[in-house]
Amino acid sequence: MIFLYSFIFCGLVCLIGQIILDNTNLTPGHVTSMFVVAGAFLDSFGLYDKFIKWFGAGACVPITSFGHSLIHGALAAADDKGLLGILGGMFSLTSVGIVAAVVFGFILTMIFKAKD
């Protein structure tokens, strides 16, 4: 049953994103940023952890989870190291994903040519 819940959650995130793209003049970058902020907002109030509990990996895969990870790491580091730990805490949970995106992006630009 958890697979079905994961699929439904990810499908709803994609559906909301597609509806926003189809009915507004926003670019995909705007929608992505909105989802990151929404995930961060939900985690600020402790709601995103409940989504992860209910929907499992389905809540960890979409872009909303990146916002959750940023805020979650920042709040955990703020508890340990105070105000100065916030920036370091943000990147402690997300550094692997950021580095992977940069490295794979570089590799793919070396393989493929951009279209005009």
Question: What integer pLDDT is reported at residue 48 of this predicted model?
Answer: 87
Q: Which amino acid is at 63?
A: I
Average pLDDT over residues 30-38: 93
- Return the amino acid letter for 37: V
Burial letters 2-37, b for 16+ CB under 10 A, else e: eeeebeebbeebeebbeeeeeeeeeeeeebeebbbe
Contacts of 100 (CB under 8 A, 6+ apart): none
* pLDDT tens column, 45-102: 989 889 889 988 888 888 888 888 888 888 888 888 887 788 778 777 788 888 998 9
Q: How far is residue 86's CA from residue 93's CA, in Å, rounded to a whole number?
A: 12
Q: What is the pTM of this model?
A: 0.79
When the pLDDT of each residue in the chain is averaged and rounded to a whole number, the result is 88
